[in-house]
């Protein structure tokens, strides 16, 4: 830079001893910096090489910081660029990246890929770890709270004969005991939106609706459904599904270990368990668990497939079927929260 060349920047001066802003002008000549306000010299002369200049980021004002803590702020980014260019200094990496459309698009793609990967793999993995890390007391608290909500809105006292309930409990007992889990069985008559259904709560409670029991022709079909629901409990699918849908709550619980915060999730579980269902991966995992558990008792997993087909057939024939005269029958409800039957049958039939 020649001796006659002078750089002049308008801006605001913040003295090191005071935070009060002062309108000022920064002058640079012969490698030395001066800051003036009218006829007053506020700083300098100082070697420009000792001044720290903030990196450029779009049109954000730049800061020139002096060694004594004072600073000069200016919106004249072009002037600062010329000043630095003459001194052989380049823009920072951030400015070069955000000024290039290619890098902006690349950054956008990387961000999208990162977010997608976090949602697709990161959150489910973290949900699984957290679900198995939660103490049993938390699972019981959630399960009991959800059952109360369901009993208030969607479930009613079972109308099955007491003797039939006792017989089914006795029939189901060996399967429940061999699972190694504390399974509790409940019968309820369901509202229309649930109909023929069975679902598992995080506490280990499995609920069978009267409509599902009435639809079954053999106990083995209900045992197949029971084994499938036990699979959901064993793999903690209910908790994992809720945690995945409550990522912020999940992060808070993982970081703080505050089990009391799980109570805020209770209200979301009935919707997930009874209307949204589980993911396909969870359903297929529960099917595999059910097939193994049933096989250990000499029961063919195809009975579960038969029950699924019967539900599907009842749904298709509903307008003409005598059992559909009751508007609360809801035979298709179980199927609506599970993967397509045709997709599950090959696994259940051992193919």
Which regions of the chain does DSSP assign to beta strands (E)? 6-14, 21-29, 32-37, 40-47, 52-53, 62-65, 71-74, 155-157, 184-190, 198-200, 205-209
- In terms of Cβ atoms closer than 10 Å to its own Cβ (0-12, 13-18, 19+), residue 54 is middle
For 298-342, the pLDDT digits (tens) are 999 999 989 888 887 766 655 433 444 444 444 445 555 566 666
Checking if the pLDDT of 264 tops 60, the result is no
**Which range has the worst mean pLDDT, 26-30, 226-230, 233-237?**
26-30
7's torsion region: left (phi>0), alpha (psi -120 to 50) or beta? beta
Q: Give the distance from CA 77 to its chain's centroid.
A: 42
Instruction: Give the DSSP H/E element, type plus range, for residue 211.
Output: helix 210-215
Q: Give the C-alpha distances (Å, rounded to integers) separating 59 from 10, 90, 235, 301.
A: 15, 16, 53, 67
Q: Within 13 Å and on the Cβ side, how many CA atoms surround 233?
A: 29
Residues 149, 266: contact at Cβ < 8 Å? Answer: yes
User: If you average pLDDT over residues 190-204, what whole number do you get?
Assistant: 85
Residues 144, 202: contact at Cβ < 8 Å? Answer: no
What average pLDDT does the chain have? Answer: 77
Q: Give the C-alpha distances (Å, rounded to integers) separating 120 from 67, 286, 317.
A: 49, 20, 38
DSSP string computed for 53-84: EPPP-TTPPEEEE-TTS-EEEES-HHHHHHHH
Cα–Cα distance, 227 to 291 (Å, whole number)? 8
Q: Give the distance from CA 171 to its chain's centroid.
A: 39
Greater model confidence, 192 or 347: 192
For 29-65, the pLDDT digits (tens) are 887 888 888 888 888 788 887 888 887 776 788 888 8
Confidence of residue 275 (pLDDT cuts 50, 70, 90): very low
Q: Give the C-alpha distances (Å, rounded to integers) separating 148 from 51, 152, 262.
A: 68, 6, 16
Checking if the pLDDT of 185 tops 90, the result is yes
- In terms of Cβ atoms closer than 10 Å to its own Cβ (0-12, 13-18, 19+), residue 255 is exposed
Q: Give the C-alpha distances (Å, rounded to integers) separating 25 from 63, 74, 121, 265, 280.
A: 13, 9, 54, 58, 66
Provide the pLDDT for residue 178: 92
Structure tokens, 265? 């999730």
Structure tokens, 73? 């702020």
The torsion defined by the Cα of 246, 252, 257 and 263, in degrees rounded to 10, comes to -50
Buried residues in 27-49 as b, exposed as e (16+ CB within 10 A): bbbeeebebbeeeeebbbebebe
Checking if the pLDDT of 81 tops 50, the result is yes
For 233-262, the pLDDT digits (tens) are 999 888 887 777 666 554 555 555 555 555
Q: Give me the phi and psi of 298, to 5 degrees please.
A: 70, 25
Structure tokens, 340? 């397509």
Confidence of residue 147 (pLDDT cuts 50, 70, 90): confident
| Residues counted in the chain | 351
Highest mean pLDDT (candidates 52-56, 102-106, 212-216, 239-243): 212-216
Contacts for 76-80: CB closer than 8 Å, 24+ residues apart:
76/9, 76/10, 76/11, 79/7, 79/8, 79/9, 80/9, 80/53, 80/56
User: If you average pLDDT over residues 209-235, what whole number do you get?
Assistant: 94
- In terms of Cβ atoms closer than 10 Å to its own Cβ (0-12, 13-18, 19+), residue 23 is exposed
User: If you average pLDDT over residues 81-109, what whole number do you get?
Assistant: 62
The residue among 123, 186, 112 whose CA lies nearest residue 155 is 186
């Amino acid at each position: 830079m020649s001796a006659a060349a002078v750089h002049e920047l308008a801006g605001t001066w913040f003295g090191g001893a005071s935070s009060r802003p002062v309108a000022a002008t920064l002058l640079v000549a012969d490698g030395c910096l001066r800051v003036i306000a009218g006829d007053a010299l506020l700083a300098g002369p100082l070697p420009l090489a000792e001044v720290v200049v903030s990196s450029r980021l779009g049109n954000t004002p730049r800061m020139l910081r002096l060694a004594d803590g004072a600073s000069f702020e200016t919106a004249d980014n072009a002037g600062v660029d010329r000043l630095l260019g003459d001194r052989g200094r380049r823009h920072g990496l951030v400015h070069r990246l955000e000024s290039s459309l290619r890098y902006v698009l690349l950054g956008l793609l990387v961000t999208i890929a990162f977010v997608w990967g976090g949602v697709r793999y990161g959150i489910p993995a973290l949900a699984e770890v957290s679900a198995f890390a939660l103490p049993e007391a938390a699972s019981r608290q959630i399960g009991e709270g959800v059952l109360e909500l369901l009993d208030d809105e969607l479930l009613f006292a079972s109308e099955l004969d007491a003797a039939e309930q006792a017989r089914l409990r006795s029939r189901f007992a060996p399967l429940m005991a061999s699972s190694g889990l504390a399974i509790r069985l409940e019968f309820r008559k369901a509202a229309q939106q649930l109909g023929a259904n069975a679902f598992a709560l995080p506490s280990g409670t499995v609920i069978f609706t009267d409509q599902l029991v009435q639809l079954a022709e053999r106990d083995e079909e209900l045992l197949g459904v029971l084994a499938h629901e036990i699979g959901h409990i064993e793999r903690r699918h209910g908790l994992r599904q809720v945690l995945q849908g409550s990522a912020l709550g999940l992060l808070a619980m993982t970081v703080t270990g505050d089990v009391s915060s799980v109570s805020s999730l209770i209200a979301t579980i009935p919707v997930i368990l009874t209307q949204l269902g589980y993911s396909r991966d969870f359903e297929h995992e529960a099917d595999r668990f059910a097939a193994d558990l049933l096989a250990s008792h000499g029961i063919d997993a195809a009975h579960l497939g038969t029950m699924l087909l019967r539900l599907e057939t009842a749904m298709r024939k509903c307008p003409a079927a005598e059992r559909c005269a009751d508007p609360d029958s809801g035979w298709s409800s179980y199927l609506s929260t599970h993967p397509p039957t045709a997709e599950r049958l090959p696994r259940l039939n051992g193919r």
